[in-house]
Every structure is written in structure tokens, then in C-alpha cells.
Structure 1
Amino acid sequence: MHNTAHEPVLPRRTLGRSDVAVTALGLGAAAIAGLFTPVDEDEAGAAVEAAWGAGIRYFDTAPHYGLGLSEHRLGAVLRTKPRDAYTVSTKVGRLLVPTEGRGRAGDFEDDLAHGFAVPATHHRRWDFSADGVRRSLEESLTRLGLDRVDLVLLHDPDDHEEQAFGEAYPALEELRSEGVVGAIGAGMNQSRMLTRFLEDTDVDAVLCAGRYTLLEQTALEELLPAAAARGKSVIVGGVFNSGLLADPKPGATYDYTTAPASLVSRALRMRTVAEGHGVPLRAAALRFPFGHPSVASVLVGARSAAQVHDAAAQMNHAIPDGMWRALRSEGLLPPHVPVPEGT
């Protein structure tokens, strides 16, 4: 593929046995939809454009993010780009139902109970039926303004396990065999059920958020070995554990709530070791998952062009092997956890 000299090239990996390729760094598009605090349209568009300029060609969204706002905003930028040049994933499992009896957006309560600073013009309805999957995907394509997405993930089926496996998953398999989507999988904040998807179904990839980070490697117990044994891919989200590894300090968030003091002190010790080797903790956190060969991409959420530029810079930061060794010798990284070499 032709690349102009000024355009950065990020390494790409294909997902499982599919033809769908993702860049090592992907943009998670929840933040541009007003995650926790509002983001205006221009700022959101600038973040997506900055990602493109940094060589990011993998974008992940979901109807859940800002009640469809993420898909609208992401699609508005991606529609201006050559369709074969990028990969986009969205998710199914929550349908958006219009909230009755209100007029303008300003008449609605906000959606902050679900984490988004947007008017609650819709509410989410869980639906992991085959019809729900197809309908959700059709509505996502309408919001994105695209004729296809590359990867579709079952979104947070934690409390809907049997329906997800019995109805939603077969519907995804059908969409893939019809050529409607290129790859299928599931995205969750836990590793147990994702491991079941890898072992019991023919998914191409799973998106695991928060369970494979510098601070927590639960996914190394069963999920990553299952992926490696079956030639499947893992996309890692939540590498900063929702804030603690980006900027460790008392009151920082971990898993979307206030971090316990013991984890804050561990993250602070990690930062001291990393900075002693000339490495920002964010760079170490971002690169850590690539120690495992099944990890295809790391998703970073950014709400502004500046945050995207920072993520790209951290991704490209040189990391001496001595830093990983020092984290091990300080007891901050278990000896069996793989780390990227020669980075």
C-alpha cells in the first residue's frame, strides 16, 4: 500500500483468521461522546482527525457511548476517508429506544447515570436476540453513515450469558458468513466469559477492558492462553485502568471508581521506576500488553486532539529492557508476566 513520506505508519495485525486488520494503536470513541464531561462537536471531530494524522486506522465505537453520539461523530469524520483505509468496530446488545413525551434535547435529563454528559433522548434496552443483533447493527450503520463495519462485538453480555451464546452469537456468525461483517467477537470488562467465547465459539477476537494492564493481569490466567491456543486475537482496552496509570495520585479512578490506597501507592512506585529509566508511566502502560503475542491492538480513549497526540507519542516512546527488569526486581511485575522486548 502506498504511504506518503509524512504519514506515520503504525504496525497492523489481522484479527484471528479473518481478513480484518487493526493498527497496534486504536482510538476508543467513548470519550468523544461526552464520557463523564461534555465534549463539543468540533473538539470531537478534531480528536478523530488527529488520530488519523497519527496513523491510527482502527476506531472502536458502540451505541451505548453517548446514546449514539459516538457513532454519529465518528462516522462524520470517517465518511471523508477512503473506506478501505481503516477498520471500524461497533457493538450490539443494547438497543436505543426514544424517550417518550419530550420535545427538544434540552428538555431531557442528562445520561450521567450511565456515564455520559448528553441529554437522555433515548434509553438503552438490553437485547441479545438474533433480531436485536441485526436491528442494532442496522441502526449503527445509519448513525455512522457507512455501508459496513468490519468487526461487530457483543457488548457486555455479563447478565445475559445464555441468550448471548444461544441467540446473539449465532446471528453474528450468520452476518459474517453472509459477508455483512468481516470479523466477530465480544467486548467486556471481565475475562471469564470472554474465555468461554474463545473456547466455545468461532469468534475472531475479543476486546478485554481493564484486565490486562501493568496493574492487573487477570487475563493472563485463562483468556490469553486460550486465544494463543486457538489463533484468536485480543484487543486490549482500559490500559490506564480508567485513569490511575495515566496520572497516579490519591483520588485517581480505577475501574471507574476511586482507587484503593494500596493500588495508588503501587502505581506511584511504578511511575518512579519508569521515570528512572526515562520512560513516562503512560508509555509503559500503553506498551505493556504487547508482551503477549495474542494482543493485536491497544485502544486508547481520547477526548481531544492533544490527548491523541500524547497517546501516539507514548506509543512511540523508546523503552529500555532495563525498565521491565527493574519493575520485576521491585516486585511490581510478577516474573511470569511477558513484557515487550527491545522496545
Structure 2
Amino acid sequence: MASRPEELRTTTPAPWPLPRFGLGCAPIGDLYGSVDPGTAVATVHAAIAKGATLLDTAPKYGDGLSERRVGDALASVDRERVQISTKVGWLVGEGNGPSPAFGRDDVLRSLESSMRRLGVDHFDLVHVHDPDDHLDETARHTLPALIRLREEGVVGAIGAGMNNHVPLAELVRRTDLDVVLVAGRYTLLEQPALADLLPLCAERGVGVIAAGVFNSGLLANPRPDAPYNYHPVPDAVLERALAIRDVCVRYGVPLRAAALRFPLGHPAVVSVLVGAATPEEIADNLDLARHPVPTEMWADLRTAGLLDPLAPVP
């Protein structure tokens, strides 16, 4: 596997502190629809210009397409300006869709392929990707392989990324993680990760990256045909999202602004990922993330039963 020259391996920059916002690069891997290659590159550049310098990608995003497009964007960017996060656990690029691959050799093979697609020789952060059904193998083989690469300086920090907060908490208990990425389970709409994952991470000094903060689109624009966790939205969930929006409107706060700001109120959350497929989309979201949110608004959401009373707010 390619790696940094021996004399530089211990000087790989750690990813801390991470920027408050990063770019989720699944959309430029054609997650929701075809994206023009030039638009994909411009989206990455727009995110970096706005300070969202954590670029989160994965082989699983578009069968390597997202990584290739991030790599194209990096060709004209100072590598030290950005933090590159990718993932292991699924081998791609053979035309048959992703296949689970959580062994030590799989990790090396996956990262070597990611290096080629991204045009880099080290990673600031590597997650084990969706190991929900492979927790034992992840604990016994995948993470020890990543720990070794962390010791060698090829990887700056290691983590795990899932949509389910319960197995993430189990991995935090069992292994030596630096960070976790939790998608959709700590948002303005719902906070189940507050029961176990977030306090555990705060106790153990594990950073939390919050992703899916719009719950795959519902909090961006609540409506009957909006997606919720990549599926049609149930009526009760839509009703809750609309009620949250109504409270925000009373305070003149765009719903997206509140959704982007909310996770950062928890002391364990170190960064929020914002997915985007165009430069305009990422610029608009990052501008909204700076919108002021009155303290009284969070209090009203609690009073209305729309926010967990134990959830810290910004």
C-alpha cells in the first residue's frame, strides 16, 4: 500500500480541530441524480472557500465516483487547507455494487484504491462505513488495522459512521475510536443519540460528527412528498416537522438555519456535515448556518414538546 515517505510518516497532520461545518460528498457521487463533473468540482471549491474544509467521501458513494470527483477538485487545492475523510468496509469498482469487506487486507486494499482516486498519500480521517452487521469483525480486524495505520501516520484519526446510534455506542465502548459519524439520529427533528451515544462520547473524549441533519431532506422543506431517512415521510413525522418550522417562522429563523445550528449545541459534537450537489446549494446552506437564532426559540420548542428537554442548544 502506498504511504508517506518514512521520514514524514509521524508528521501527518491530525484533523483536530475540525471545522464547524464540512461538505458531505455523497451528492456529487450522483446520489440523488446526475451531477456534471465541472459542477461537482466547483461544489468542493465553494465549500472550501466558505470554510467547510472537511471533505467527507467514501468508495460506496457512486462506486468510487465521489472520491474521483473530490480528487479532481483537490488537484488545484493546497492539500494542507483541507481535511480528507473517507471510509472502509465496502469494496467497489468492479461493476457488481459494493460488497462487505472488513478484514485487515480489505482495509489496505480499500485505502490504496481510495488514495488513487483521491490523489492523496494520507488521510486525515478514516471511518468504518456502515458496519451494523459486522461489529465483531470491525472490532477484531478492521479497527486494529486502522489503528496500525494511525500509528504509522498514514491515517490521522479513525472512526465509524452509521445511521444507527446504538451500534455506534457499542463500538465506542469496545474500541479505541477518535470520532464517530452519526447520520440522522441527532437532528432538530429527533435526538435518539442523546440517550446513549452522545453522553458516552463526551465522557470518553470521542468527537461526534453530525450528518443527515435535514433527515435526508424533510427539514430542508417539509411537505408530503419530502423524503425522510430516504423513504416517504409518515404523516406524524411530517406534522412534527411542520410544527418545528412554525416555531422557527415566528422568530424569523429559516428552518434550515435552525437545523444546521442545533447539533453544535452538544459539547460532544465537533462538526456538522452538509451535503450539496452544486456550489449555490453549499454556499446557501453555509450562509444560513450563520443566521442568528434567539435563545427563546429553543425554549419555545421545548415548551411545545418539539425538542428533548435534555438536549443542549447553541
Q: TM-score range by the shorter chain?
A: over 0.9
1:138 aligns with 2:94: no
Between Structure 1 and Structure 2, which shows a larger proportion of strand residues? 1
Give yes or no for contact 1:43–1:304 (8 Å, CA) kept in 2. yes
1:31 aligns to what?
27
1:213 aligns to what?
187
Range 78-87 or range 63-72, more displaced? 78-87
Residue identity in the other structure for 2:112: E
Matches of 1:301 and 1:198, distance apart in 2:
25
**Counterparts of 1:1-343 in structure 2 under 5 Å?**
20-99=16-95, 122-340=96-314
Residue identity in the other structure for 1:42: G
What's the CA shift for 1:184?
0.2
Q: TM-score, normalised by structure 2?
A: 0.94
Residue identity in the other structure for 1:295: V
Q: TM-score, normalised by structure 1?
A: 0.86
What's the CA shift for 1:211?
0.4
The superposition leaves residues 237-278 of structure 1 with CA deviations (integer Å, 9 ceiling, x where unpaired) of 000000110000112111100010011111111111101101
What's the CA shift for 1:19?
5.3
Give yes or no for contact 2:42–2:73 (8 Å, CA) kept in 1. no
Give yes or no for contact 1:20–1:182 (8 Å, CA) kept in 2. no
Between Structure 1 and Structure 2, which shows a larger proportion of helix residues? 2
Give yes or no for contact 1:22–1:296 (8 Å, CA) kept in 2. yes
Give yes or no for contact 1:212–1:218 (8 Å, CA) kept in 2. yes
The superposition leaves residues 9-66 of structure 1 with CA deviations (integer Å, 9 ceiling, x where unpaired) of xxxxxxxxx5533110000000011112111111111111111121111110000001
Give yes or no for contact 1:176–1:184 (8 Å, CA) kept in 2. yes
Give yes or no for contact 1:63–1:90 (8 Å, CA) kept in 2. yes
Aligned to 1:77, what secondary structure does the other structure show? helix
The superposition leaves residues 94-137 of structure 1 with CA deviations (integer Å, 9 ceiling, x where unpaired) of 111423xxxxxxxxxxxxxxxxxxxxxx5212100000011101
Residue identity in the other structure for 2:163: N
Matches of 1:174 and 1:153, distance apart in 2:
14
Range 57-66 or range 122-131, more displaced? 122-131
Residue identity in the other structure for 1:50: A
Residue identity in the other structure for 1:88: I
Residue identity in the other structure for 2:50: A
Residue identity in the other structure for 2:94: P
Aligned to 2:86, what secondary structure does the other structure show? strand
The superposition leaves residues 123-165 of structure 1 with CA deviations (integer Å, 9 ceiling, x where unpaired) of 2121000000111011000000111111000000111121111
Matches of 1:22 and 1:77, distance apart in 2:
20
Equivalent pairs: percent with the same residue?
A: 51
Gaps of 5+ in 1: 1-17, 100-121
